[in-house]
Structure 1
Amino acid sequence: MTSYRVRALPGLPEVRPGDDLAKLIVAAGPGLVDGDVLLVTSKIVSKAEGRILAATDREAAIDAETVRVVARRGPLRIVENKQGLVMAAAGVDASNTAAGTVLLLPEDSDASARTIREGLRDALGVDVGVIVTDTFGRPWRNGLTDVAIGAAGVRVLEDLRGGTDAQGNPLNATVIALADELAAAGDLVKGKAEGLPVAVVSGLGHLVGDTDTDARAMVRVAADDMFRLGTSEAVREAVTQRRTVREFTDEPVDPGAVRRAVTAAVTAPAPHHTTPWRFVLLESPESRLRLLDAMRDAWIADLRRDGKSEESIAKRVRRGDLLRKAPYLVVPCLVTDGSHTYGDARRDGAEREMFVVAMGAGVQNFLVALAGERLGSAWVSSTMFCREVVRDVLDLPEGWDPMGAVAVGHAAAPPRDRPARSPESFLTVR
């Protein structure tokens, strides 16, 4: 049976800027042998590398180290910092440092680990692994634990995918965070307030040796991060990233994703406790073609009545290619069952406008939810100009008013950047 030993290393002095950590560790008599793993708290690495900042305002220091805010709740911020780590307060620490100063994380913790490892090899002739650790919270668990933010000469991940478990079941997703497990083991003997910033793990020499991976390999890339944003941030991101997409790939659209988006759509506000939304899903190529051909013919007839030239008509009709090229179409319809009739034009007009506004809210919910499913969309008004044709072709009830059409698909390219709009241009305060 494999066993290992974890011990703290006493005797280290207070670390100051410019200190050589490898020499300090050697002077403490670490008793290292080949295959040992040193677990070094990032605080002393930061101190040795001069990552000490005079700061009366810790928040300003956090701002400077932040690349992206992931989540915010009151004064607490979870952010991505300059090292690519997602953590509370960008790793800016006001503990274990002089009053009026804060500690920043090492600029490159993997490089720091390599420097310590090479220093120990030169001084003691031993081949050891080095892990730089820091304390993290975790999104699904209470409590803090140490994890690896830098590593050298130690295997940081063990990829078991493609193998089988003891019962012969295939392992399809199992990748073990070895460096984090080692960091957490060291935290048990280092403690948070005992002044023991270095621990040694012995007995796991099979994890030690030259390797081309470091702790950066443990950071999940954005494309694989299913929890990249906090709750309120995700809501804002979904709304602002909902963009009109006009070019789609040939990848099929998951009908289940569309139905989930409809579920979100029908939570919109509506007058008189009604449910004025209906969504017609055109899932067969035949139904889409039949509708689009009929709409095209109606449009051409309208344009000819307007006296447009055939060249102008052809140019305008080509705008409908967006709907033809989309792999999936949805026709949202307004139903005004439950509306009130007052008998005068002013109030009856306002009544209908209430329902139309509710329809717009429902469609916006739908589009935002599609974006959350990583589906692009374009809401175009075409069906509103030939409602009778749409009802006839799709065999819809007389009381259903088509309110445009939504093209749905996987975007062929990311949308172009859109500059943020200042809310002041849209505000009137009384």
Structure 2
Amino acid sequence: MSGMRPGADGRVAGPSGGVAAERAPGYRVWAVPGLPEVREGDDLAKLIVAAEPGLADGDVLLVTSKIVSKAEGRIVAADSREDAIDAETVRVVARRGALRIVENRQGLVMAAAGVDASNTPAGTVLLLPEDPDASARAIRDGVRDALNVEVGVVVTDTFGRPWRSGLTDVAIGAAGVRVLDDLRGGVDAYGNPLSATVVATADELAAAGDLVKGKAAGLPVAVVRGLAHVVDAHADGEGARALVRGAADDMFRLGTSEAVREAVTQRRTVREFTDEPVDPGAVRRAVAAALTAPAPHHTTPWRFVLLESEASRVRLLDAMRDAWVADLRADGKSEESIAKRVRRGEVLRRAPCLVVPCLVMDGSHTYGDTRRDAAEREMFVVAMGAGVQNFLVALAGERLGSAWVSSTMFCRDVVRDVLGIPPEWDPMGAVAVGRAAVAPAERAERGLEGFVEVR
């Protein structure tokens, strides 16, 4: 478009001065020069209006968070930037050496919690605004009062992005701007339905402003003109908080190594399940994870029987209940005591899927003496436990709850008979699988004292 220039209304004018592509959409973006060094207590709206008195209805102001932080006194003394990051961090998402990606107090997931040690006196750091949406509203209201114009305001900060190299500005605060443009329910130019398209308009505006503000040019404010349709005086709502993906919808909530540790430590036994069917593919993926567990002699001592039909589950559980009742009666338990015990064991009946892990001793060695043969079996049993743990953790990764119950080990012949499995398959409990009806209770962190001996 050499030789063309944007008009005041944002459209593009040709070399002759006529308006080219009269109906083609366009906009203009420019940095605001002449802003002084911002100090605590400064009225940003007044500073911006003084530097850019020609603001008009429908303009969008893009304000770098750094000057908002300075005006709001978010400069703190800090001997260590790491200590300041610790204080602003709610949750560590990923850590690689000194670099930390964290969720900060504003709910933003970003490097170093937004703590910035640049462009601030030595021995101090800049924190992000306490409430960036409120900061944006204050600037918007101040401009309205001064010029009687309706503008949108986006407070911006610099982010990296997953899967993409480089940095860009995004919106961390907004007022008077529709931050998301939800196109779901519409159709594209070919008539295809749009089912997942939600445009992050505020982030696109922030990135446009970054092109003219730069990172070191001393131009912390930019103006976008020509996109009045994104400005709405009643669009505050959640502000830029609406751009933050909630935990339930965040498929990448943790970094890789963090996710592995979280999966292991946060796995919980679930005893109440919803009626939602279990995806058979998810269970099979969990079995595949189980098969990666360590095992002796390069063997594969695991077999998994999947009871996916209600009929198969009821048949097995009825037979196991009858065997258990017979054992309890043989122990001399009263009928009342037996009924209570049976009721406590109903967790398997409440699950929409059951899995019976079985141990096989294929490839095991026979030594001919009791001590070594017992140790050989113990090696295989340990491998079985490792496989089941892999299975349970992988289920948790599929957002499925589980409970590993030992009951099949007390009536192995009954289980083999009902399931029609070979006599050399040794049932090692049963795993109830399903969607958790309620979130499992938090578990207190266990210290290492009493569990570790160092020699």
TM above 0.5, one fold? yes
SS at match of 1:95: coil
SS at match of 1:425: coil
Q: Which one of the candidate residues 370, 373, 379 is aligned to 1:348?
A: 373
- 2:136 and 2:88 map into 1 onto residues whose CA distance is 21
How big is the shift at 1:314?
2.5
How big is the shift at 1:30?
4.5
1:128 lines up with 2:161 in the alignment: no
For structure 2, the 5+ residue unaligned runs are 1-23
**Is the CA contact 1:9–1:30 (under 8 Å) kept in the aligned structure 2?**
no
2:408 counterpart residue number: 383
How big is the shift at 1:118?
1.3
1:394 counterpart residue number: 419
- 1:389 and 1:135 map into 2 onto residues whose CA distance is 64
Q: What letter matches 2:137 in structure 1?
A: R
**Is the CA contact 1:80–1:87 (under 8 Å) kept in the aligned structure 2?**
yes
1:6 lines up with 2:35 in the alignment: no
SS at match of 1:79: strand
How big is the shift at 1:317?
2.4
Correspondence list, 1:293-304, <5 A: 293-304=318-329
Correspondence list, 1:282-297, <5 A: 282-297=307-322
- 2:299 and 2:313 map into 1 onto residues whose CA distance is 29
- 1:10 and 1:55 map into 2 onto residues whose CA distance is 31
- 1:429 and 1:192 map into 2 onto residues whose CA distance is 52
Once structures 1 and 2 are overlaid, which stretch shifts more, 369-378 or 26-35?
Answer: 26-35
How big is the shift at 1:245?
1.2
Q: What letter matches 2:98 in structure 1?
A: P
Q: Which one of the candidate residues 198, 202, 215 is aligned to 2:225?
A: 202
Scaled by the length of structure 2, the TM-score of the pair is: 0.92
Structure 1, residues 405-429: CA drift from partner, whole Å, max 9, x if none?
1111111211122111112231111
Q: What letter matches 1:267 in structure 2?
A: T
2:141 counterpart residue number: 118
Once structures 1 and 2 are overlaid, which stretch shifts more, 301-310 or 65-74?
Answer: 301-310
How big is the shift at 1:312?
2.4
1:212 counterpart residue number: 236
2:132 counterpart residue number: 109
2:108 counterpart residue number: 85
1:69 counterpart residue number: 92
1:50 counterpart residue number: 73
**Is the CA contact 2:159–2:168 (under 8 Å) kept in the aligned structure 1?**
yes
1:38 counterpart residue number: 61
Q: Which one of the candidate residues 371, 391, 412 is aligned to 2:396?
A: 371
Q: Which one of the candidate residues 407, 410, 416 is aligned to 2:435?
A: 410
Correspondence list, 1:252-267, <5 A: 252-267=277-292
Q: What letter matches 2:392 in structure 1?
A: L
How big is the shift at 1:304?
2.4
1:21 lines up with 2:51 in the alignment: no
Q: What letter matches 1:79 in structure 2?
A: V
For structure 1, the 5+ residue unaligned runs are none
1:305 counterpart residue number: 330
1:138 counterpart residue number: 161
- 2:450 and 2:155 map into 1 onto residues whose CA distance is 49
Once structures 1 and 2 are overlaid, which stretch shifts more, 233-242 or 101-110?
Answer: 233-242
Give the direction of change, closer, same or farther, for the CA distance of 1:317–1:122 in structure 2 (3 Å limit): closer
Once structures 1 and 2 are overlaid, which stretch shifts more, 351-360 or 403-412?
Answer: 403-412
2:15 counterpart residue number: none
Q: What letter matches 2:305 in structure 1?
A: V
Structure 1, residues 135-183: CA drift from partner, whole Å, max 9, x if none?
0011121110000111111111110000000111000010001110010
- 1:212 and 1:26 map into 2 onto residues whose CA distance is 21
Q: What letter matches 1:356 in structure 2?
A: V
**Is the CA contact 2:174–2:236 (under 8 Å) kept in the aligned structure 1?**
no
2:19 counterpart residue number: none
Q: What letter matches 1:306 in structure 2?
A: D
**Is the CA contact 2:65–2:157 (under 8 Å) kept in the aligned structure 1?**
yes
Structure 1, residues 202-221: CA drift from partner, whole Å, max 9, x if none?
11111112123311111111
- 1:394 and 1:209 map into 2 onto residues whose CA distance is 65
**Is the CA contact 1:7–1:189 (under 8 Å) kept in the aligned structure 2?**
yes
2:21 counterpart residue number: none
- 1:56 and 1:15 map into 2 onto residues whose CA distance is 23
How big is the shift at 1:338?
0.2
Q: What letter matches 1:105 in structure 2?
A: L
- 2:279 and 2:355 map into 1 onto residues whose CA distance is 13
How big is the shift at 1:315?
2.4
Scaled by the length of structure 1, the TM-score of the pair is: 0.98
Q: Which one of the candidate residues 178, 188, 199 is aligned to 1:176?
A: 199
1:277 lines up with 2:302 in the alignment: yes
Q: What letter matches 1:401 in structure 2?
A: D
Q: What letter matches 2:30 in structure 1?
A: R
Coordinate RMSD, CA, aligned: 1.2
How big is the shift at 1:35?
1.1
1:247 counterpart residue number: 272
2:9 counterpart residue number: none
SS at match of 1:247: coil
1:338 counterpart residue number: 363
2:12 counterpart residue number: none
How big is the shift at 1:10?
0.8
Once structures 1 and 2 are overlaid, which stretch shifts more, 417-426 or 5-14?
Answer: 417-426
- 2:70 and 2:350 map into 1 onto residues whose CA distance is 60
Once structures 1 and 2 are overlaid, which stretch shifts more, 104-113 or 213-222?
Answer: 213-222
Aligned length: 430
SS at match of 2:345: helix
How big is the shift at 1:53?
0.8
Q: Which one of the candidate residues 351, 357, 373 is aligned to 1:326?
A: 351
Identity rate, percent:
83
How big is the shift at 1:318?
2.5
SS at match of 2:376: helix
How big is the shift at 1:303?
2.1
Structure 1, residues 303-340: CA drift from partner, whole Å, max 9, x if none?
22222233322222223321122211111000110001
- 2:180 and 2:336 map into 1 onto residues whose CA distance is 64
SS at match of 1:173: coil
- 2:215 and 2:331 map into 1 onto residues whose CA distance is 80
SS at match of 2:62: strand
Once structures 1 and 2 are overlaid, which stretch shifts more, 410-419 or 267-276?
Answer: 410-419
